[in-house]
Amino acid sequence: MEPPAPDELAVGRALAAQLQVRCLAAGLRLATAESCTGGLVGHLVTGIPGSSGYYLGGVIAYADRVKHELLAVPDATLQAHGAVSAQVAAAMAEGACRRFGADLAVAVTGIAGPDGGSEAKPVGLTYVAVAGVTGTEVRRHQWHGDRGANTRQSAEAALRLLLERLGEEPVG
């Protein structure tokens, strides 16, 4: 008999619960800007009862046009660096912060796979960014899983980056 399937979102849920406690305590309001994670960060955040106390909402900016039109990512930045780049991740986070009037915003852009990779930008390459009053920070990751695993790891990395910005040691 197979062992029980692990809850693949358990780590993400634990991080989201920790983030909620911290944001509610600090009175910080959060927005999200997601490309490759397609809404998973929002799903994890809103899975915790009481999340409406600090989560304003987000933009799922799957098409590049949406990154420009809803998050004000400059077309020149998209063209010069590509959608999966540190520059676009930073611009997405800053754009979400402004658009939602949030204290803090997190952004994710990456190549979940199985298609869309290249030698310079392989499948699994992901940038997460956090923006807020104390500035913008970007982190680069290279995952090696399938589409589902890459997406989950990207969402967890986004939550961890938020917790680090808040001076917390992430659980999980």
Interface with its own copies (CB under 8 A):
1-7, 32, 34, 36-43, 45-47, 49-52, 55-63, 65-66, 70, 99-100, 112-116, 147-148, 151
**Residue (of 28, 87, 95, 104) closest to 61 by Cα position:** 95
Q: Which two tokens stand for residue 106?
A: 């997190």
Comparing CB distances to its own copies, the nearer of 116 and 169 is 116
The two structure tokens encoding residue 79: 């063209």
Q: For its own copies, which is the closer residue by CB, 63 or 80?
A: 63
H-only helix segments in 119-146: none
Nearer to its own copies, 135 or 148 (CB): 148
Instruction: Give me the least distance between CB of 131 and its own copies, in Å please.
Output: 17
Q: Are 88 and 78 in contact (CB under 8 A)?
A: yes
What span, in angstroms and rounded, lies between the C-alpha atoms of 61 and 37? Answer: 10
Shortest CB 165 distance to its own copies, Å: 20
**61 or 90, CB closer to its own copies?**
61
Compute the least distance from the CB of residue 57 to its own copies, in Å: 4
